[in-house]
Structure 1
Amino acid sequence: MLSNRNTRPFGVSPERYQALCQQVDTLLAQMTLEEKIGQMNQVAGSRDTTGAPANTEIEADVRTGRVGSVFNAFGVEFTRELQRQAVEHSRLGIPLLFGYDIIHGFRTIFPIPLAQAASWHMEGIERAARIMAVEGAASGVHWTFAPMVDVARDPRWGRVMEGAGEDTHLTSLIARAQVRGIQGSDPGATDTLAACVKHYAAYGAVEAGREYNTVDMSEWRLRSIYLPPFLAALSEGCASVMTAFNTLNALPATCHPLLLDQILRREWCFEGMVVTDYTAIMELEQHGVAADASEASRRAVNASVDMDMQSGYFIDTLKALVQSGQVEEARIDEAVRRILWLKAALGLFEDPYRYADEAREAQCLLTLEHRRAAREQAAESMVLLKNDGHVLPLGDHHRKIALIGPLGNTPRLIGSWHGNGDHDDTVTLREGLANRLGEDAVILYAEGASNQIGENDTSGIEEALELVRQADAVVLALGEDEADADEAASRADTGLPGAQLELARRVLAEAGDTPVATVLFNGRPLTLTELDDLAPAIVEAWWPGTEAGNAVADVLFGDVNPSGKLPMSFPVNAGQIPIYYNAFNTGRPKGVDPKYASQYLDIPNAPLYPFGFGLSYTTFEYGELETACSEIGLDDTLEVRLALTNTGDVEGTEVVQLYLQDVHASVVRPLRELKDFQRLRLSPGECREVVFHVTPEMRRFLNAELERVQEPGLFRVKIGSCSESGEEIEFRVV
């Protein structure tokens, strides 16, 4: 099983943890049962047009101690007023905890998390999280519901945009980086937030990619694939956990004893707070495991849920459940202790208003430094999928650009879950091209077709074609609307929505020898088979954030050499979904028998673009793999070396990826698993030695008894530019 770690919130020492517990216990002893239950209640906040609290009912509940936390709460004026109600007018003056969904930026919006994962750049991801924490904390927020670490292998699910893709190892590293960025090194600092890892657990595996749907899987797969990123976040000191909406093996995650009590509390020894997702306790009735609010509350709180987000069921039912003996008051004390501990760790008892500083709020939001960081990360998150004939980069001699497509002149490029981001602050692609080319350049624009699902109007294509005939270069800006990859935004057809594919066909046919660069703005892997057949150059830009247009222009004109690598496989056809690189071989793999094999009759098994794939404006040559020996002991580490050479004419960054296969084991092992990677920047002609170490920990796995073991046997190491390329060598562990 996954081993126990130090999973105390913020990674505090035992001494610090106990000191805060003593402070909390003193307060807890003064509280009535009603006041304790009030701390377990989280409600939504709202503001009027002046920024003042609008829902007076919440204020009344705050004054009577019936609210412990308010979410969707930000803005110094708003949070200060609500905090004043709690501190100055409730009996014990316990401060509120303000939470908000700050997922990939507060006011300065960074690329969506899936795009950030495509950078494979942990320092950049940590910096983005640090900036969003600085901005959120400056606006009165204490707690963010991030990171989202759901491993996802089905791009039909809209929330893939919010995670790091299909791989457990990459997601785990990103979870750690995000927690470090959000929480910083001192929870008492006023420029940090408490993190909340979500959605616990296996939400990314919902059947058919349909939001809120059922999940059913073996405990082996749960522990091997879906749980490690949560443990990684907690091991980095993540302060809290949010439960998932889905059922897991016929039990909703919000009342799941295996997830919450056995694994989280007993095995991982997590001492922090567990909050539900929005109305998840209420939804236990819809799931069919609770007849009423009382039963829903009992099942959730006894499973180890500490705070109820929005349903109000704890407030309505817990007192009677305690009085009837169905819930022990000691369990209530345990939950409240965790909630108060978090408030104490954040310094709210010393100064409830420490996050409410008007001067800091005025100075910290959307600064030039933050915009520069967003631009840099957006550019390094972009993936060059295709560049036949070296269409890209475009040159300064291209002075008349036809910008075609529904996403060429829109600010809707920041993606869903964009915090307090404002579309008016977003640099459109048209603006970015104009900024790059200067005043004497001409940018002709036509939408051509809509990207709205179900809208197939082609009447604007002729106008677009007329502009193509006038231009010396064409940029096709295609993709999804922000609302179409989001929570409650599953898509059965993952192709380009609307008439965009027809627009692309016509534009590419009309362009002739005029270079055409296709830029995709989307929140999920799209099915691009026909577009890939037609388009000579494709840049996956995702939703890049506030600096979208500038960052895309940086890449299109070669000011930034693209270095992104896909964190999710792009399918040839939706019929392949779910598709992921680290699958099992099966007993009848393709290629052994022409008919009786695990294959499709009409499409290949392989994706269109595999996990880890991404091109560059330069080329890299991988040398032969070298090791000192081909046989090692169980406790030994194998060193693998190779030479990497930039054989092109421009500087570039390559993500060198190491994959491992355990060829024969007591349980079936994947064909390959990402175990390590290095992100290296090389000048033209530069050659660098790359060294990897294959450690015993990399070779361990869960056996049939769910024990984490290493077994002797044959292993294969492959190092290359993606999951489907590279040289392979074998070694044996004895």
Structure 2
Amino acid sequence: MRTFRIVGAAALFMFSTGVLQAQTGEQQKMKTFIDGLMKKMTIDEKIGQLNLVVGGEATTGSVVSTDVDTKIRKGQVGGIFSVTSPGRIRKIQELAVNQSRLKIPIIFGLDVIHGYKTIFPIPLGLASTWDMNLIEQSARIAAQEASADGLNWTFSPMVDVSRDPRWGRISEGSGEDPYLGSVIAKAMVRGYQGKSLADNNTIMACVKHFALYGAAEAGRDYNTTDMSRVRMYNDYLPPYKAAIDAGVGSVMSSFNEIDGIPATANKWLLTDVLRKQWGFKGMVVSDYTSVNEMIDHGMGDLQQVSALALKAGLDMDMVGEGFLTTLKKSLNEGKVTVADIDRACRMVLEAKYKLGLFEDPYRYCDENRARTEIFNEANRRKAREIAAKSFVLLKNQQQVLPLQKKGTIALVGPLANAKENMVGTWSVAADVTKPISLLAGLKEVLGANGKVLYAKGANVTEDSLLEVRTSIFGKPFERDNRPADVMIREALAAAEQADVVVAALGELAEMTGEASSRSDLTLPQSQVNLLQALVKTGKPVVVVLFTGRPLAIPDVDKIAPAILNVWFGGSEAGHAIADVLFGDINPSGKLTATFPMNVGQVPIYYSHKNTGRPLNGQWFQKFRSNYLDVPNEPLYPFGYGLSYTTFTYGDLKLSSQSLKGNQRLTASITVTNTGKYAGEEVVQLYIRDVVGTNTRPLKELKGFQKISLQPGESRQVSFTITPEDLKFYNHELKYDWEAGDFTIFIGGNARDLKSGQVNWQK
């Protein structure tokens, strides 16, 4: 709890005590209300509150709920998702409030992942801004729009740490690092939930997927996850814990198993860790039919798995209706207790109470808000700004970028005029007719100063079936059936007339996301052939790379003079890309997930540990930990990203080389803008615990600052390090720090760092 010094210690104590008493009073008021309501409820009505149904089209599975209206009247529905607009939601809410016996309102949710109608960059792109203020603003705008359209619950943020870019849902998270993921998780929760869930322009967040979903074996979605508790606590659990600490209102269980037990029925996870260790007081919901899917896991029939999930600590069953159809039978047979059902029911009712639905069931049904607060000009301006800040400049040989706003530009490539794909995966509420394509954005920003020649040049892939599989969710991609050489010749004709070539290459939006795992992370050969032909013209070629994951593109890096990774930038992607290409905005994004040389290096991440036979240098050595055919190093490391200007780091300065106990260490470095443009740099702090009772990573991110410098300007950047930054979970799962030697690193990415040594004793 934050406190403020008013006059002295007594005043501070009184202020803190007053806030605590107010909180306790509100909690008691809620408890009294829920107690009274539950005394009136039958077992059937309590079980009904645990049933979450889909009211529109299924977005994350093939199962669609049926006969929803009848179930609402019977008190058999606690929540609905995939229904939007104040008018539709009011009608459904009226059924619950006017025609069910106890008039309990319904909670309405949707997958609002990176924007509602105004779409921001995919979460992996948002993370690449390294700007918590902008990330929080994106969630705040998403909450404003969603709540204006009748919603009060989002299944976001997804905070799964992932170090395997084969996994499609890496696009939906913040990358590979637990520290950065934790900071982003807090920012997202603050953005969605605001200062109070009772405000009608906030929505309840749901942190997901609890837990370890990002470590699915082979990067294949829904697959098994298996790891040690030490790795769980140090590397994968911190972002979930951060969301809990930030006050997230709900948690979603994951599809994968942990220690041989699916997360949805894992009592150690949902009760021992989440509630007992972390003190979570909110609601736990299953993922889409994950209760039912435990049958295929081999955990029993629907009645068995439903009972297991309830007793493990699950409160709400998404779509599968196992709770609705089996819990009463399990109660009669002694397989669950009334206390189990009451606990889950209370959690659902408390969520509705916190959202103010008992006070006013229609507080989110304001048609005036829906008309003025959604996809408005201010929101689109912010989306454009944030998108531009998310782009990562991977290469800029001979300062090809920024482009001049004059002359002729040849814009070629399968993603050049694909506006439906600009919003990326998990943009379920987007109107895909409204995003700005790169072609439209480039023409608008260039204006009458120059000319844009367009040619498609290639299909995304020559595998037409793969293209069909990924042209879904309202994102059609029109395949060009002309021969590949004809399309390339058309592109070359445009290039010959141009001063510079912009090649829009990469993935389609739905080549990442749920159920979009890939075993091949290279750029499809159809696009490689196009790029090779363009480079041979001798014209400067800028690759604008659309992707939802790290790709293995050493061939592109080798031949393309410039590469700007733009992820999927959202509603204003085309404008934002043009802003950066022409230098109106200097790119400042930094990678939050490592780009491999090839898929054989996966999983690959910066905070790995040493082996007993580490490689000395970059190239092959027999009887050392390395590959025969590729270096150990990635193509682009974590934290990497160029600018149109250059930044020089001075020597690292430490306030002391020897500390004891709770003393603080200040690590400082001077950063200078040595280029011609004003720019932003993300200064990153890493620490290595050199010797430990458990082996420790070679380095771990422990802080960062994003600074802005004018040409020639220098600034000293300082970090304060305390023993809290040195703590880790050891083999006994004790969270503490150990005395000894530490290496402090500061730099612009996880590879290029200045370092110093310090000894810290207890």
Deviates more, 1:332-341 or 1:16-25: 16-25
Cα offset, 1:23, TM superposition: 1.1
Answer yes or no: is 1:362 the counterpart of 2:389: no
Q: Secondary structure at the match of 1:560?
A: coil
Q: Report the alpha carbon displacement of residue 439 of structure 1 after superposing the two structures with TM.
A: 3.2
The equivalent residue for 1:404 is 412
SS of the aligned residue for 1:282 comes to helix
Indicate the residue corresponding to 1:564 in structure 2. Answer: 589
Structure 2 counterpart SS, 1:425: coil
Given that residues 522 and 542 in structure 1 are in contact (C-alpha distance below 8 angstroms), is that contact kept between their aligned partners in structure 2? yes
User: Helix, strand or coil for the counterpart of 2:128?
Assistant: helix
Question: What corresponds to 2:16 in structure 1?
Answer: none
- Is 1:520–1:540's contact at 8 Å kept on the other side of the alignment? yes
- Displacement of 1:18 in angstroms is 2.6
1:576 partnered with 2:601: yes
Q: Is the 8 A contact 1:11 1:236 kept in 2?
A: no
Cα distance in structure 2, aligned partners of 1:451 and 1:269? 48
Alpha-carbon distance, 1:567 to partner: 0.4
Work out whether residues 625 and 642 of structure 1, in 8 Å CA contact, stay in contact via their aligned partners in 2.
yes
* Structure 1 residue 67, shift from structure 2 partner: 0.4
CA distance in 2, matches of 1:458, 1:154: 35
Letter of the structure 1 residue corresponding to residue 152 of structure 2: H
Q: Distance in 2 between matches of 1:249 and 1:377?
A: 40
8 Å Cα contact 1:40-1:306 kept in structure 2: yes
| Residue 518 (1) aligns with residue 526 (2) | no
The aligned length equals: 716
Shift of 1:623: 1.2
Partners of 1:606 and 1:60 lie apart in 2 by: 59
SS at match of 2:291: coil
Partner Cα separation in structure 2 for residue 730 and residue 338 of structure 1? 49
Any idea what the Cα deviations from partners look like across 1:57-100, whole Å, max 9, x if unmatched?
A: 10110011000000112111111110000000000000000010
**Candidates 415, 432, 436, aligned match of 2:424:** 415
One-letter code aligned to 1:153: R
Q: Distance in 2 between matches of 1:323 and 1:250?
A: 29
> Is 1:599 the counterpart of 2:599 in the alignment?
no
Match of 1:463 among 485, 490, 500: 490
Q: In the TM superposition, what whole-angstrom CA distance separates every residue of 1:553-581 from its partner, at most 9, and x where no partner exists? A: 01101000000000000000110000000
| Pair 1:698 & 2:725 matched | yes
SS in 1 for 2:329: helix
Picking from 227, 230, 236, the partner of 1:217 is: 227
1:227 aligns with 2:237: yes
Supply the AA of the counterpart residue of 2:558: D
Residue in structure 2 matching 1:555, options 577, 580, 585: 580
Q: How far is 1:185 from its partner?
A: 0.3
**Residue number among 617, 631, 641 corresponding to 1:614 in the alignment:** 641
Residues 173/543 of structure 1: CA separation in 2 closer, same or farther (3 Å cut): same
Partner of 2:507: 480
Conserved? CA contact 1:452–1:480, under 8 Å: no
SS in 1 for 2:495: helix
Aligned to 1:630: 657
Aligned partners of 2:500 and 2:310: how far apart in 1? 61
What is the aligned partner in structure 1 of residue 760 from structure 2? 733
Write the mapping of 1:8-19 to structure 2, written as runs, cut at 5 A.
13-19=23-29
Quote how far apart the aligned CAs of 1:40 are: 0.2
Aligned counterpart, 2:685? 658
Q: Which residue of 1 aligns with 2:473?
A: none
The two structures, once aligned, show a CA RMSD in angstroms of 1.6
Distance 1:472 1:12, change over 3 A: farther
Residue 342 (structure 2) pairs with residue 339 (structure 1): no
Instruction: Kindly indicate whether residue 748 of structure 2 is the aligned counterpart of residue 721 of structure 1.
Output: yes
Q: Distance in 1 between matches of 2:738 and 2:128?
A: 33
Q: How far is the alpha carbon of 1:625 from its aligned partner?
A: 1.2
User: Could you tell me whether the CA contact under 8 Å between 1:21 and 1:337 is conserved in 2?
Assistant: no
Is 1:435 the equivalent of 2:444?
yes
1:302 paired with 2:311, answer yes
- Does the alignment pair 1:649 with 2:659? no
**TM-superposed deviation, 1:459:** 3.6
The offset of 1:440, in angstroms, is 5.1
Deviations 1:164-201 (A, max 9, x none): 00000000000000000000001111100000000000
CA–CA distance in structure 1, aligned partners of residues 21 and 611 of structure 2: 42
Q: CA deviation at 1:249?
A: 2.1
State the SS of the aligned residue for 2:290. Answer: coil
C-alpha distance in 1 between matches for 2:57 and 2:575: 34
Which TM-score applies when normalising by structure 2?
0.92
- Which position in structure 2 is the counterpart of 1:266? 276
Deviation at 1:410, TM superposition (A): 1.1
TM superposition shift of 1:317? 0.5
1:532 — aligned with what? Answer: 557
CA apart distance, 1:47 = 7.8
Aligned partner of residue 682 in structure 2, secondary structure: strand
Is the aligned partner of 1:167 residue 2:177? yes
**Alignment partner of 1:31 is 2:31:** no
Is the contact between residue 570 and residue 608 of structure 1 (CA under 8 Å) also seen in structure 2?
yes
Deviation at 1:320, TM superposition (A): 1.1
> Is the CA contact (8 Å cut-off) linking 2:727 and 2:736 kept in structure 1?
yes
Q: Does 1:72 align with 2:82?
A: yes
Alpha-carbon spacing, 1:424–1:138, altered in 2? closer, same or farther (3 Å): same
Q: In the aligned structure 1, how far is the partner of 2:556 from the partner of 2:22?
A: 52
The Cα shift of 1:321 comes to: 1.0
Report Cα offsets for 1:474-523 as digits up to 9, x if no partner: 1000010111101000000011135111111111112x1x2211100110
- Stretch of structure 1 that moved more, 456-465 or 205-214: 456-465
**1:4 — aligned with what?**
none
Cα distance in 2 for residues equivalent to 1:176 and 1:203: 19
What code does the residue aligned with 1:493 have?
Answer: D
* Aligned counterpart in structure 1 of residue 329 of structure 2, from 313, 320, 340: 320
CA distance in 1, matches of 2:21, 2:594: 34
Distance in 1 of aligned mates of 2:556 and 2:123: 25
Q: Which residue of 1 aligns with 2:402?
A: 393
Unaligned runs of 5+ in 2: 1-19, 59-63, 465-482
Distance 1:482 1:356 in 2: 32
SS in 2 for 1:424: coil
Task: Give the 3 Å change call, closer, same or farther, for CA 457–156 of structure 1 in structure 2.
Answer: farther
Letter matched to residue 198 of structure 1: K
User: Match for residue 11 of structure 2?
Assistant: none
Q: Does 1:502 align with 2:529?
A: yes
Structure 1 counterpart of 2:3: none
Q: Deviations over 1:8-62 (max 9, x none)?
A: xx999333223212111110110000000000001000289xxxxx987101100
Q: For each residue in 1:375-432, what CA deviation from the matched residue of structure 2 results, as whole angstroms up to 9, or x when unmatched?
A: 00000000000001100000123x2110010000110111011131112110110111
Give distance in 1, aligned partners of 2:484 and 2:78.
51
Deviation at 1:453, TM superposition (A): 6.4
Of the three residues 254, 257, 266, the one matched with 1:244 is: 254
Q: Equivalent of 1:207, from 217, 223, 227?
A: 217
Match of 1:131, SS state, is: helix
Counterpart Cα distance in 1 of 2:487 and 2:440: 22
Structure 2 residue 78 is the aligned partner of structure 1 residue 45: no
CA contact (8 A) 2:174 2:184 kept: yes
